[in-house]
Structure 1
């Protein structure tokens, strides 16, 4: 049995404490729980400009019973939703309508667009700049295309080009057999070169150019004499192959720009020393015990090079000249093997 409840005086408007915003991290119920069943609810004061109705009286701090407090909270929530809905409708009514895009020319801004310039076109986009970390920058490399005739690969399987054709006349000596000479000529034809072969073994060269290129004017074979060498240029250089066996040409023709003479020495002996010394590049297949010492003395090679020249594989070639010596694998492809056969000397 409960006695009469003492009414709590409401705070005057001037003395009412300022409303404190609820803590955002801890949600609070709309109405605090009563201390005991049947006890009145105390609704916190919320400033509002509405007339003093039952919900407004509860907001002002007036003590009401539990059913009345529930109705007040529901009315307050309904009024809040109504005000929010009204504001959204007003904003939608006041918002400008987007201009129609029908008939808009591609690349031009529609009328009223702030991006529209004096000419009616969209302003240039500002792409900005891109940044990269130091680690990513260190991974960037400049790739250079291989220039020249790729003669072979080194021990790292990296293609090695040589200056086979140059703006000035070029003289190259090859100490080796027909297989190596035809492989070099095949790769020169791939560079759009025109080839003239002067040989004492025409059977080894007849039909080679037709089989490789499908044309009969890219490689001409002469059993002897001094044929005219076609003029050379960077797009179509000229190559003269002198395959005279164990003899050298008595009076080789003069060369011009983008013209190269390849002298094939089937064997290196004393009569061929002058040809080797007069060449800008010397290519050598594996040499025997008599050729290696002569090559080492003529080219002034160290002792280990003289020994290595005698144990090289048949598909290797030593390149002497242009300020150094290199040992390459010719790396014959399947197509090249089809036209030239397996490595030999």
Structure 2
């Protein structure tokens, strides 16, 4: 006797399952489905409303970041980028300040490498092995041998507003500013076309707070360390 059509197996698809109505939402109700998450990337802190602030440093296109701030914030950023699977190459003239971080990161895997200024070798970045180059080279970093490229971002750390800062900020897709002097705040405000209130705030920012600027977008972000980060790097600080 032949198998009833209702239970006959479909070639390659198994038995026909129960019939249910389609899950559909009217177009004017789609906005109600928004989820409180940011873009893929590295969580660098929380915004003024306490929502996660996410920085996507692993990109298929060149991406340059300038941070005028403290070593602590740069190291937290490097540590968290490494946790997302990126390899971190640190170009620095103060290797001793990075050694503990490089040894602790990656659970024994060499995910953070340290290099003298001007001695960063080609990193071979790819979609499966993205790279973040952190340039901690003082007030006047020389032009880097390794530049931003596909899947390779470059983060340049400046302790203060130096003579090379305007050039670096002009070519960066993202600029982060931590607490600076009132005179520096005024100069940065002119360079980045900040509002008067944003410029004035730069000289009063708490440790761990950064104003991130991308084109016309502005966002104050508080970086809060985890217990593990605090044990390794100490509390948030602007000065080193």
Query: TM-score normalized by structure 2?
Result: 0.83
Query: Which of the residues 113, 124, 127 maps onto 2:19?
Result: 127
Partners in 2 of 1:325 and 1:139 — Cα distance? 24
Contact 2:140 2:163 survives alignment (8 Å): no
Residue in structure 1 matched with residue 154 of structure 2 by the alignment: 261
Shift of 1:338: 1.8
Shift of 1:217: 2.3
Partners in 2 of 1:252 and 1:290 — Cα distance? 32
Contact 2:176 2:212 survives alignment (8 Å): yes
Q: Does 1:271 align with 2:164?
A: yes
Q: Secondary structure at the match of 2:99?
A: coil
CA RMSD of aligned residues (A): 2.9
Residue in structure 1 matched with residue 33 of structure 2 by the alignment: 141
Query: Which of the residues 230, 235, 239 maps onto 2:132?
Result: 239
Contact 1:152 1:328 survives alignment (8 Å): yes
Question: 1 or 2 for the larger relative contact order (CA 8 Å, sep ≥6)?
Answer: 2
Shift of 1:302: 1.4
Residue in structure 2 matched with residue 150 of structure 1 by the alignment: 43
Residue in structure 2 matched with residue 117 of structure 1 by the alignment: 4
Shift of 1:124: 4.7
Residue in structure 2 matched with residue 297 of structure 1 by the alignment: 190
Partners in 1 of 2:81 and 2:25 — Cα distance? 44
Structure 1: give runs of 5+ residues left out of the alignment: 1-110
Contact 1:269 1:291 survives alignment (8 Å): no
Query: Which of the residues 155, 163, 167 maps onto 2:60?
Result: 167
Shift of 1:294: 1.5
Residue in structure 2 matched with residue 288 of structure 1 by the alignment: 181
Contact 1:191 1:236 survives alignment (8 Å): no
Cα gap change, 1:138/1:289 in structure 2, threshold over 3 Å: closer, same or farther? closer
Query: TM-score normalized by structure 1?
Result: 0.60
Residue in structure 2 matched with residue 212 of structure 1 by the alignment: 105
Partners in 2 of 1:203 and 1:151 — Cα distance? 24
Residue in structure 2 matched with residue 331 of structure 1 by the alignment: 224
Deviation per residue, 1:205-255 (Å, 9 max, x gap): 113122121335211111222321312223321111110122222444333
Computing the radius of gyration from Cα coordinates, the structure with the larger value is: 1
Structure 2: give runs of 5+ residues left out of the alignment: 10-14
Residue in structure 1 matched with residue 12 of structure 2 by the alignment: none
Partners in 1 of 2:118 and 2:42 — Cα distance? 28
Shift of 1:138: 8.6
Q: Does 1:320 align with 2:213?
A: yes
Q: Does 1:191 align with 2:84?
A: yes
Partners in 1 of 2:19 and 2:144 — Cα distance? 67
Shift of 1:142: 4.6
> What is the count of residue pairs matched by the alignment?
230
Q: Secondary structure at the match of 1:214?
A: helix
Contact 2:140 2:162 survives alignment (8 Å): no
Larger strand percent: 2
